[in-house]
């Protein structure tokens, strides 16, 4: 495991127990999650096997199990996986045996080629400098005509470090962000044989839920139209022109 991967694992292990309580986590859940689920329904109406890379504490687990026969959650942090397992036990009657969780890295996804109908990768690759190699690894495990959903912090957000605080004050851990414009990732995915079906950019002006003026958003409160996060839907094995960047129609 690289030093960068070790840093990421340690940071998320430290924050795992309180991760879901953070305003930044709730911001993503209320604004990214509805967009990702809507794109799955649009581009992959029938899903047998779904992989959630960077599943964290299991934000997508319950919703995705309802959509597929077999959900696999993968995260580099044993602490985050342990929280997700606790959620799975609590939701056992709804999830049955269809939710599987394991520790692993996006850099070396522990599954064979062409395994999944849908792969979600949320807030992961911005932690790594070599985006192209990671995108290639994600594409590798998607079946032909399968769907890859990539979401992350937008380059225009300018958030150089992810800072994890406890009780809003003490800094527990920090990780470096290597931010990219979604059009860069869409071009890379197109070069790997994917059709870009949709690009969604979410800002304070069009998001469905805004937290209190949390510091992590910095001066974006003065730039409400500036994108904070993006979601790309890419279909493997379908070639076509790249989608134009559009703002997301967020559900209320």
Q: What is the pLDDT of residues 122-166, one digit of tens each?
A: 999 999 988 899 999 999 999 999 999 999 988 887 666 565 666
Q: Quick one: angle between helices 131-140 and 182-191, nearest 10? A: 50
Read off the tokens for 106.
């996006």
Q: How far, in Å, CA of 246 to CA of 252, rounded?
A: 18
pTM of the predicted structure, to 2 decimals:
0.87
Instruction: Specify the pairing of strand 246-247 against strand 142-153.
Output: unpaired
pLDDT, tens digit (0-9, with 9 covering 90-100), for 7-46: 889 888 988 988 888 777 788 888 899 999 999 999 998 8
Q: How far, in Å, CA of 74 to CA of 125, rounded?
A: 14
For residue 70, give the DSSP letter.
Answer: E
CB atoms within 10 A of CB 189: 24
In CATH terms, the fold of domain 3-247 is Rossmann fold (3.40.50)
Residue 215 has pLDDT above 90, yes or no: no
Q: How far, in Å, CA of 178 to CA of 238, rounded?
A: 28
Determine the length of the chain.
252
Mean of pLDDT over the chain: 84
Read off the tokens for 111.
């599954």
Nearest to 55 by CA among 149, 153, 132: 149
């Amino acid at each position: 495991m690289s030093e960068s991967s070790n840093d990421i694992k340690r940071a998320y292990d430290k924050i795992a127990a309180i991760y879901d309580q953070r305003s930044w986590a709730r911001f993503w859940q209320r604004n990214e999650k509805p967009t990702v689920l809507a794109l799955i329904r649009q581009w992959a109406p029938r899903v047998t096997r779904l992989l959630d890379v960077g599943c964290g504490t299991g934000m997508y687990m319950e919703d995705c199990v309802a959509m597929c026969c077999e959900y696999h959650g993968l995260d580099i942090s044993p602490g985050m996986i342990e929280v997700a397992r606790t959620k799975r036990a609590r939701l056992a009657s709804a999830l049955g045996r269809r939710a599987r969780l394991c520790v692993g890295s996006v850099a070396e996804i522990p599954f064979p080629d062409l395994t999944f109908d849908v792969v979600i990768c949320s807030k992961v690759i911005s932690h790594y400098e070599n985006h192209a190699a990671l995108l290639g690894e994600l594409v590798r495990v998607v079946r032909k005509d399968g769907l890859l959903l990539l979401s992350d912090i937008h380059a225009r957000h300018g958030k150089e470090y992810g800072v994890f605080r406890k009780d809003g004050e003490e800094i527990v851990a920090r990780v470096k962000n290597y931010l990219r414009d979604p059009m860069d990732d869409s071009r890379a995915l197109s070069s790997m044989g994917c059709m870009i079906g949709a690009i969604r950019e979410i800002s304070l002006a069009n998001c469905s839920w805004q937290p209190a003026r949390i510091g992590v958003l910095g001066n974006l409160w003065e730039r409400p139209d500036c994108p904070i996060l993006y979601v790309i839907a890419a279909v493997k094995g379908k070639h076509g022109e790249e989608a134009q960047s559009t703002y997301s129609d967020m559900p209320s």
